[in-house]
Structure 1
Amino acid sequence: MTPEQVKQVEKTFRIIAPLSEMAAAIFYERLFALDPALYRLFRHVDMGTQGGKLMDAIGFVVDNLRDPRSLLPTVAELGRRHAGYGVLPGHYDTVRTALLDTLAEGLGEGFTPPVREAWASAYALLAATMQEAAAPAKAA
């Protein structure tokens, strides 16, 4: 990610963060609309609590984008845990779409092409790190 992309992600997350409960609800609604089979991964989960965890995780990522040495080990652990939950490589594309759609809805006209690209770049880094870490967990 470029320094400008990091700034874009930080700036726009400050807009979304106060709306975290609504943003999480939109995200999961969109996720399940894109792939209803994913609901099975959450059938025994309190979605309010899950939404809080999602927004906390995104906040952690945004807060640490400038320090990959702190960020990436935590993201790798998240990838290993998600493998244990049944998350498959193809699910990452669905999550990316749901995330970008949620940001587009939440930011409206502020979701410019550069902002979209910044978030897509951040997500690509995270998804690659999570999937790489999950691969050995899946093989075990």
Structure 2
Amino acid sequence: MTPETIALIRRQFAATRGMEAAFAAAFYARLFEIDPGLRPLFPHDLSDQGAKLMKTLSFAVAALDRPEALQPAVFALGQRHAAYGVTAEMAAPVGAALLDTLAVALGEGFTPEARDAWTSAYTALVGMMAEGLASAAIAAE
């Protein structure tokens, strides 16, 4: 990712400050619309889960230019999520929900360039997380 792409993502994410709870609620609502089969993986009350989502997104956005910090953290996230029954195939609906939520939250500010930047970042993060998922699966064998 280029410094310009990272800067764009950071500007976009900064625009969600102050609406963290609403953003997280909209994300999970959209996720469960896209794939209702994912709902059982989450607690009934999503408020704590939403706070975790926003904290994770905040860390990832802040560390996009520091792979030495980002990669081990996202790998470990994948390992933890394996225990919850998460699979690599679940990344597609999560990514779609994230992009849809950003589009609604940012409105006209979510340009095609911004969508491409977020897609690139999400794809990189999913790759790191998938390594953690695979590692957990191998360890469980």
TM-score range, shorter chain: over 0.9
Question: Residues of 1 paired with 2:80 and 2:17: CA distance?
Answer: 24
Partner of 2:28: 28
Report deviation, 1:99.
Answer: 0.2
SS at match of 2:88: coil
SS at match of 2:91: helix
Q: TM-score if structure 1 supplies the norm length? A: 0.96
SS at match of 2:50: helix
Equivalent residues of 2:87, 2:133 under 8 A apart: no
User: Number of matched residues?
Assistant: 139
Question: Residues of 2 paired with 1:46 and 1:6: CA distance?
Answer: 33
Amino acid at match of 2:128: T
Amino acid at match of 1:2: T
Moved over 2 A (4+): none
Amino acid at match of 1:94: P
Unaligned runs of 5+ in 1: none
Amino acid at match of 1:120: T
Q: TM-score if structure 2 supplies the norm length? A: 0.95
Give the alignment's Cα RMSD to 1 decimal: 0.9
Matched, 1:17 2:17: yes
SS at match of 2:15: helix
Equivalent residues of 2:88, 2:133 under 8 A apart: no
Summarize deviations over 1:45-70 as a string: whole Å, max 9, x none.
53001000000000001111111101
Question: Residues of 1 paired with 2:44 and 2:7: CA distance?
Answer: 33
Question: Residues of 2 paired with 1:64 and 1:128: CA distance?
Answer: 16
Amino acid at match of 2:94: V
- The aligned runs of 1:114-133 (5 Å cut-off) are 114-133=113-132
Matched, 1:4 2:1: no
Amino acid at match of 2:136: A
Report deviation, 1:131.
Answer: 0.4
Summarize deviations over 1:72-102 as a string: whole Å, max 9, x none.
1001000111111111111000100000000
Report deviation, 1:133.
Answer: 1.5
Partner of 2:76: 77
Matched, 1:58 2:57: yes
Question: Going by fraction, where is helix more abundant, 1 or 2?
Answer: 1
SS at match of 1:18: coil
